[in-house]
Amino acid sequence: MQWPARWFAVVGGVLAVAGVGLLVAFTPSGIAALQPLALALAGVLMVLVGVPNPVRDAVGWHRLVGLADIALGATLVLGSLLSDPVNLWYVAISAIGGGSLALIGFDYIRGGHWFDISTDAP
């Protein structure tokens, strides 16, 4: 069953607002800014999937969702690596979860060889 495109826009909007909100509220600098930036990027990519636009038509919805999943996976890993003190168990679990999201995103980018997706429309 296909997820309606509007839900990508809703989830993406929430992620983008959360990422920008974290950037504004905590004003992280340097490498610490990468996590909320990746979260906002994932949100923007999902919003692009959820609304009709030339980018979605040119690139393909599945590639945009794949990039969003990779960005979300990166937020998990970055969050564990940027914690103080760094807990190796937390890093390992985050790497497994973030890596799983990244692999799903990679599969979406290449057209869904592991997951049966329709590349025609969201």
119 pLDDT higher than 80: no
Nearest to 35 by CA among 24, 46, 47, 19: 19
Q: Are 43 and 18 in contact (CB under 8 A)?
A: yes
**Residue range(s) defining the domain that contains residue 18:** 5-109
Nearest to 44 by CA among 78, 67, 21: 67
User: DSSP code of 29?
Assistant: -
Instruction: Report yes or no on 70 lying in a domain.
Output: yes
Tally of domains in the chain: 1
Instruction: Report yes or no on 116 lying in a domain.
Output: no
Instruction: Report yes or no on 118 lying in a domain.
Output: no
Nearest to 98 by CA among 122, 118, 81, 117: 81
Share of the chain above pLDDT 70, in %: 94
Instruction: Report yes or no on 38 lying in a domain.
Output: yes
The pLDDT tens digits for 62-99 are: 999 999 999 999 999 999 998 888 899 999 999 999 99
Instruction: Report yes or no on 89 lying in a domain.
Output: yes
Instruction: Report yes or no on 121 lying in a domain.
Output: no
Instruction: Report yes or no on 36 lying in a domain.
Output: yes
Structure tokens at 75: 């937020």
Strand, helix or coil for residue 70: helix
pTM for the whole structure:
0.89
User: DSSP code of 31?
Assistant: G
